[in-house]
Amino acid sequence: MLMFRCPSLQKLFLEWTAEEDIWIPQLLLQAQRSELRNLSLGGHVTLYKNSTYEERGAIMNSFLSRHPTVEHLEFNNARMLYPGCMATVSLPYFRSLSLHNPGSRYDLVDLIPIKVAQRLECLQTLVYQECLPIIQEMSTLRSFSGAIPEDLLEEFIDSIPNIEKLYPSMDSSYGHIDKTDRLMRFSKAVKTLTLFGPSWACFSLP
């Protein structure tokens, strides 16, 4: 692969337009780029077929262990994330995580160790009740974007007191509700927030 000939590679984005998934075990098993900063894996990029969830988590954990310089991870496929994917990594420079397809069967708390979560500054994901405990550990979180159910909005904001930029969107699980009605409900939930954080620099309605 061309990637293996780029020792100074800093940003890696893999995406294919395909009807079936692209399996990339060789890349994750063998790649080692000493200067890699950003890794982005598209929707059709996934781990090899005949493997258990534990093995898939171990593959990603091994890849991240070999790339301690990673600062940003972006996943468009929830099937890249399994418990153990960050089990033994330190990732001292890791600050940003984007989960564009958060349909994982696992809670965020099962995927991100507390020691890693405590250094995150930017997060993009779907918010749900079970992930609030790990979000509360993100004391350095400054920017968030993603879907937030209106009934969790106030509790979520209370859990991120140091947030500066908040870009919430409406939870798509309410798809049976008219879009205009959903926006009105979300706006009403926002209006119930009587105190915005003193450090807020940007807030955007969906």
Joined tokens for residue 182: 């959903």
Q: Categorize the per-residue pLDDT at 175 as very low, low, confident or very high, splitting at 50, 70 and 90.
A: very low
R_g of the chain, CA atoms, integer Å: 18
Q: How far apart are CA 107 and CA 177, in angstroms?
A: 26
- pLDDT for 192 equals 52
Percent of the chain topping pLDDT 90: 17
Q: Categorize the per-residue pLDDT at 194 as very low, low, confident or very high, splitting at 50, 70 and 90.
A: very low
Q: How far apart are CA 29 and CA 3, in angstroms?
A: 13
CB 126 within 8 A of CB 99: yes
| φ, ψ at 197 (rounded to 5°) | -60, 140
Q: Categorize the per-residue pLDDT at 128 as very low, low, confident or very high, splitting at 50, 70 and 90.
A: confident
CB 122 within 8 A of CB 150: no
pLDDT in tens, 33-91: 788 999 887 765 566 667 777 887 888 888 899 899 999 998 876 666 777 888 888 88
CB 87 within 8 A of CB 64: no
- pLDDT for 178 equals 55
Where does 2-203 sit in CATH, by number? 3.80.10.10
Q: How far apart are CA 104 and CA 46, in angstroms?
A: 13
159-164 average pLDDT score:
87
Joined tokens for residue 129: 């009740």
89-116 average pLDDT score:
80
Helix residue ranges, H only, the chain: 25-30, 53-65, 108-111, 114-117, 132-136, 153-158, 179-191
CB 90 within 8 A of CB 55: no
- pLDDT for 45 equals 59
